[in-house]
Amino acid sequence: MLFSPIHPMHIPDGFLSTMISVIFWVISILALAIALKRVGKDLGERQMPLMGVLAAAIFAGQMLNFTVAGGTSGHLLGATLATILLGPWAAVIVMTTVVSIQALIFQDGGLLALGTNLFNMGIIGVTVSYFIYTSIMKMARSKSWGIFAGGGVAAWFSIVIASLAAALQLALSGTSPANIAIPAMGGIHMLIGIGEALITVGALVFLYSARRDLLHIDEAEPKGGKAIWIGGLAIAAFLAILSPLASAHPDGLEWVAEQNGFLEAVRAPLYNIVPDYIFPGISNQNLATIVAGIFGVLLVFGVALGVAFLRRGQSNQIHEHPQQD
Amino acid sequence: MHIHFLDPYRPLRSPIHSLDARIKFVLTVAFILTASLTPVAAWPVYIFLLAVLLVVEILSGLGIGYVLKRALLALPFVLAALPVIFTIKGEVLFEFHIGAWLFTASAEGLSRFVSVALKSWLSVQAAIVLAASTQFPELLQAMRAVGIPRLLVGMFGLTWRYLFVLVDEALRLMRARMARSGQSGEPGRKPGGSIAWRAQMAGGMAGNLFLRAFERSDRIYVAMLSRGYDGEVRTLPLPAFSGLNWLTLMAGVFFLGILLIFGTLLWG
């Protein structure tokens, strides 16, 4: 398998409630609209091919893994590298491109969930990277150790904070309880983040020795940089404080999740119209309904397989004769 | 080296392949939205959606097996939803102990878990059919037609075009690393160096890849300039959307809408 099948950060469709999906679509579209406007205005025509090819490079760069232990490997998401190389606005667009193509073509993350994934990997990944990297660079007075320390720390935090956001979104959707999702996602990504940090530093070391000019070390802050810096700080602080709280008191989140299901209560009377369907041999009615549901799925599936099999038989017959056209 | 294996498009002749990409794009999104909005435990609706999907898969000539194999990709994520079986309170199905912990599975929890897994499975299949039956340039047209900004669609197109080139570059880098460090395919043989060293090597390769991307983008830019590029993304006008296309689109949306209303009223 070329691409690791497990990207815990790319949420597939079905796991988020429609409400959460729509909310994060709106946020992501707004942020993206601002970024598009900025890139269109501030950056030259030169940026367009650069961003496109760099997005392709990030995509390809995600294949460059290294063995950690027992079949696991570290690899790159790339938000931090994109932020350092292109600046925050263009990085948002590059990450949007990468994450969108992953969803559209490789089903790595869902389509309805794409707004949420864009928010986590594009917007959080870039703003948190930018905030941490520029802060450390300021402390280091743009010395070379600031680039490497800043890049590494930013890469680690961008992964971990984005994973906390994903866990919170899953908990708010009522898909995964907060007190399990947050420690699990956070814990896994604290490890994955180390791989991301190591590769990012490795890449920065290489670029520092080969093409120092690409790292924009002494350049002035881009326009709107302050706003992104504050945004990164706010997101990082908010998620870092909220996650342990939510994970210690999951009831609060579950209350919100229950609100999404309030329609169930409203429409309860209608439920009585539907005749009860019970699967024979199972006395527990709730369980019987679930089993009946799964049975129905299998039945439809079996019929479809049968039809497909018949069709295959036909097409094989056609292929036995050499085609003349 | 050609890496067509990355491109999920399967060139076949089928009614699904020849359908206008705009219809396919909108209906796929509508299908996924319907699956998402369908209430928990509305089993007949899920079954109906699956039936529609399987019909499309058979019509498209892709085969159910192909779609299912690719759909496995989203499977590991189901683990994230597994705990809800035990955390949602409701009618007790069964209990078991692991050490000092008591796990109580509820019918409501199981309903939610199976629903989430089904929704995810349906959605990922729909997305696979779209990607496998539509060429990327057509998909770009569809995205432009639904109002995604030109600059962004242009970026998608550029990225797609150079994706294969840069994946080739990455594969060459990896082959070179394998040749240098004498990595063995034998199980039990450890790769060389410490983890930090290996990570730094991978990082150097990533840096190298980025550098090559930068330099390539320079050449691409010059080539674009020489063909008259002035910073504006220009596109051909979209082909006309026929009355029959409108009818197909509306019929699809109408059908999904009816299914959704039916599901929400009865099981919501």
DSSP B48-98: HHHHHHHHHHHHTTS-HHHHHHHHGGGGGGHHHHTTHHHHS-SSEEEEEEE
How far is it, in rounded angstroms, from Cα B204 to Cα A81? 13
How far is it, in rounded angstroms, from Cα A301 to Cα B46? 12
Inter-chain contact A308–B123, Cβ cutoff 8 Å?
no
Inter-chain contact B41–A85, Cβ cutoff 8 Å?
no
Contact A99, A114 (CB under 8 A): yes
Q: What integer pLDDT is reported at residue B189 of this predicted model?
A: 60
Q: Quick one: what percent of chain A has pLDDT higher than 90?
A: 25
Contact A204, A215 (CB under 8 A): yes
Chain B residues closer than 8 Å to A59 by CB: 159, 163, 166-167
Inter-chain contact A111–B173, Cβ cutoff 8 Å?
no
Q: What integer pLDDT is reported at residue A191 of this predicted model?
A: 83
The residue in chain A having the minimum alpha-carbon distance to the alpha carbon of residue B214 is A50
- Domain boundaries along the sequence of chain B: 4-145+239-267, 150-181+198-226
Chain A residues closer than 8 Å to B206 by CB: 61, 64, 76, 81, 199-200, 202-203, 206
Interacting residues of A161 by C-beta distance below 8 A, sequence separation 6+: A124, A128, A235, A236, A239, A240
pLDDT at A259 over 80: no
- Provide the shortest C-alpha distance from residue A163 to chain B (in Å): 13
Inter-chain contact B36–A61, Cβ cutoff 8 Å?
no
Contact A3, A63 (CB under 8 A): yes
Closest partner CB to B80 (pick from A56, A85, A175): A175
As given in the structure block, the two tokens for residue B205 are: 């390769």
Contact A9, A108 (CB under 8 A): no
The H or E element that residue B102 is part of is strand B101-106
- Provide the shortest C-alpha distance from residue A105 to chain B (in Å): 5
- Provide the shortest C-alpha distance from residue B72 to chain A (in Å): 9
- Provide the shortest C-alpha distance from residue B86 to chain A (in Å): 10
Chain B residues closer than 8 Å to A100 by CB: 156
pLDDT at A269 over 50: no
How far is it, in rounded angstroms, from Cα B261 to Cα B103? 36
The reply to whether A105 touches chain B by the CB within 8 Å rule is yes
Instruction: State the average pLDDT over residues A186-190.
Output: 84
Nearest to A57 by CA among A32, A33, A85: A85
Task: Compute the radius of gyration of chain B from its Cα atoms.
Answer: 24
Inter-chain contact B77–A11, Cβ cutoff 8 Å?
yes
Chain A residues closer than 8 Å to B5 by CB: 2
Q: How many CB atoms lie under 10 A from the CB of residue A275?
A: 6
Q: Is B103 in a helix, a strand, or coil?
A: strand
User: For residue A68, which phi and psi values (nearest 5 degrees)?
Assistant: -100, -70
Distances, alpha carbon B169 to alpha carbons A50, A220, B176, B180, in Å: 17, 33, 11, 17
Instruction: State the average pLDDT over residues A185-212.
Output: 88
Beta bridge partners of B92: B106
Dihedral (CA of A92, A94, A96, A99) sign = negative
Q: Which residue has the higher pLDDT, A191 or A255?
A: A191
Q: How many CB atoms lie under 10 A from the CB of residue A240?
A: 14
Q: What integer pLDDT is reported at residue A275 of this predicted model?
A: 43
The residue in chain B having the minimum alpha-carbon distance to the alpha carbon of residue A201 is B203
Surface of A (243-302) touching B: CB under 8 A: 261, 263-264, 266-267, 270-271, 273-274, 284, 286-287, 289-290, 292-294, 296-297, 299-301
Q: What integer pLDDT is reported at residue A125 of this predicted model?
A: 92
What is the band of A317 on the pLDDT scale with cuts at 50, 70, 90?
very low
Inter-chain contact A201–B203, Cβ cutoff 8 Å?
yes
Inter-chain contact B203–A177, Cβ cutoff 8 Å?
no
Chain B residues closer than 8 Å to A57 by CB: 166, 209-210, 212-213
- Domain boundaries along the sequence of chain A: 18-260, 275-325
Beta bridge partners of B98: B101
As given in the structure block, the two tokens for residue B114 are: 């199976």
Q: Is A288 left (phi over 0), alpha (psi -120 to 50) or beta?
A: alpha
How far is it, in rounded angstroms, from Cα B174 to Cα B200? 14
Q: Mutate one of B217, B230, B235 to test the A interface: name it (highest A CB count within 10 A).
A: B217
As given in the structure block, the two tokens for residue A41 are: 């205005």
The reply to whether A147 touches chain B by the CB within 8 Å rule is no
How far is it, in rounded angstroms, from Cα B179 to Cα B163? 24
- Lowest mean pLDDT across A30-34, A231-235, A292-296, B220-224: A292-296
Q: Mutate one of B5, B144, B155, B230 to test the A interface: name it (highest A CB count within 10 A).
A: B155
The reply to whether A161 touches chain B by the CB within 8 Å rule is no
Inter-chain contact B231–A45, Cβ cutoff 8 Å?
yes
- For chain B, residues with pLDDT lower than 50 are 1
Q: How many CB atoms lie under 10 A from the CB of residue B211?
A: 17
Inter-chain contact B265–A267, Cβ cutoff 8 Å?
yes
User: What's the CATH code, domain A18-260?
Assistant: 1.10.1760.20
> Mean pLDDT score of chain A, rounded to an integer?
78
Q: How many CB atoms lie under 10 A from the CB of residue B183?
A: 15
Chain A residues closer than 8 Å to B155 by CB: 48, 51-52, 55, 93-94, 97
Query: What is the three-state SS of chain A?
Result: CCCCCCCCCCCCCCCCCHHHHHHHHHHHHHHHHHHHHHHHHHCCCCHHHHHHHHHHHHHHHCCCCEEEECCEEECCCCHHHHHHHHCHHHHHHHHHHHHHHHHHHHCCCCCCCHHHHHHHHHHHHHHHHHHHHHHHHHHCCCCHHHHHHHHHHHHHHHHHHHHHHHHHHHHHCCCCCHHHHHHHHHHHHHHHHHHHHHHHHHHHHHHHHHCHHHHCCCCCCCCCHHHHHHHHHHHHHHHHHHHHHHHHCHHHHHHHHHHHCHHHHHCHHHHCCCCCCCCCCCCCHHHHHHHHHHHHHHHHHHHHHHHHHHHHHHHHHHHHCCCCC
- Measure the N-to-C terminal CA separation of chain A; round to a whole number of Å: 37
Contact B77, A11 (CB under 8 A): yes
The reply to whether A67 touches chain B by the CB within 8 Å rule is yes
A101-156 pLDDT tens trace:
988 888 888 899 999 999 999 999 999 999 999 889 888 877 888 899 999 999 99
The residue in chain B having the minimum alpha-carbon distance to the alpha carbon of residue A14 is B120
Q: Which residue has the higher pLDDT, A176 or A129?
A: A129
Nearest to B61 by CA among B23, B22, B15: B15
Surface of A (11-30) touching B: CB under 8 A: 11-18, 21
Distances, alpha carbon A47 to alpha carbons A133, A181, A305, B167, B255, in Å: 22, 39, 50, 21, 44
Instruction: State the average pLDDT over residues A218-242.
Output: 76
Inter-chain contact B204–A206, Cβ cutoff 8 Å?
yes
Closest partner CB to B162 (pick from A53, A64, A297): A53
Nearest to B36 by CA among B126, B129, B105, B133: B126
Closest partner CB to B91 (pick from A64, A103, A286): A286
B39-92 pLDDT tens trace:
888 888 999 999 999 999 999 988 888 888 888 876 778 887 888 888 877 778
The ipTM (two decimal places) reads 0.88
Distances, alpha carbon A10 to alpha carbons A3, A37, A95, in Å: 13, 27, 13
Contact A123, A52 (CB under 8 A): no
Inter-chain contact B229–A45, Cβ cutoff 8 Å?
yes
How far is it, in rounded angstroms, from Cα B36 to Cα A113? 10
